[in-house]
Amino acid sequence: MKIEGNTIRPGMVIEHQNRLWRVIKIAHTQPGKGGAYTQAELKDIRSGTKLNERFRSSEKVERTSLEQRNYQFLFADDDMYTFMDNETYEQVTLNADNIGADQVPYLQDGMQVNIELHEAEPLGVALPDTVVLEIVEADAVIKGQTASSSFKPAMLENGIRTQVPPHIEAGTRVVINTTDGSYVERAKD
């Protein structure tokens, strides 16, 4: 679907120079001389390269819509990760670059994820907002540290370090935010 250059928004996927790009940031600029334009920071969906491009309001840009489907994570084999479509039971294998190196440690067996597809080709994986993980190592509480709202370092079962409240000890299951690895709350289970 064709859209005008000034209607581009962050998160959109557009086709530009025969490649698919995700819009990361935009800035509307209206110089004193000449027409207004939108400065957009684009990231190539397949290769990850970035591009800064100007779009005038009179330009037409092809907006691409990606299909989102529910998949279940099955297993990892070296640097390849296998997912199964919940409706057709077809399996798809993606490498760590498609998932995102910062997201890979949060994958758990049987986890439900959304995979973005363009013309049946998987492009990316969206994990749930939070996951439940166990603390395997936590520093001891320092006396008097509980007087203020402070945090201490802890190691999660997936090898990621995070900051947790002083009352959390090793063996405790906690809810972790998958976007930044931060502590959310103690798990209810």
Cβ contact 124:116 at 8 Å: yes
Amino acid in position 173: R
Last residue of a domain, one of 105, 126, 147: 126
Same domain? For 53 and 36 the reply is yes
**Cα 77 from Cα 89, distance rounded (Å):** 19
Q: Do 21 and 73 fall within a single domain?
A: no
Query: What's the N-to-C CA distance of the chain in angstroms?
Result: 46
45 shares a domain with 34: yes
**Nearest-10 Cα torsion for 141, 146, 148, 151:** 40
Q: Would you call 14 exposed, middle or buried from its count of C-beta atoms within 10 A (0-12, 13-18, 19+)?
A: buried
Phi, psi of 82 (to 5 degrees): -105, 130
The pLDDT confidence band at residue 110, using thresholds 50, 70 and 90, is: very high
Helix (H) or strand (E) holding 138: strand 130-138
pLDDT digit string, tens, across residues 41-59: 998 887 878 999 999 888 8
Q: pLDDT tens across 154-172, in order?
A: 999 999 999 998 888 999 9
Are residues 148 and 122 both part of a single domain?
no
Distance CA 89, CA 178 (A): 26
pLDDT digits (tens, 9 = 90+) for 11-27: 788 999 998 888 888 99
Tokens at residue 81, please? 């990760």
CATH at residue 182 = 2.40.50.140
By three-state DSSP, how is residue 76 classified?
strand
- Which of 34, 64, 94 is the last residue before a domain boundary? 64
Q: Point out the domain boundary residue: 126, 159, 174.
A: 126
Q: What is the pTM of this model?
A: 0.72
Domain around 176: 130-186
The two structure tokens encoding residue 14: 């557009």
Note the residue count of the chain. 189
- 119 and 81 in a common domain: yes
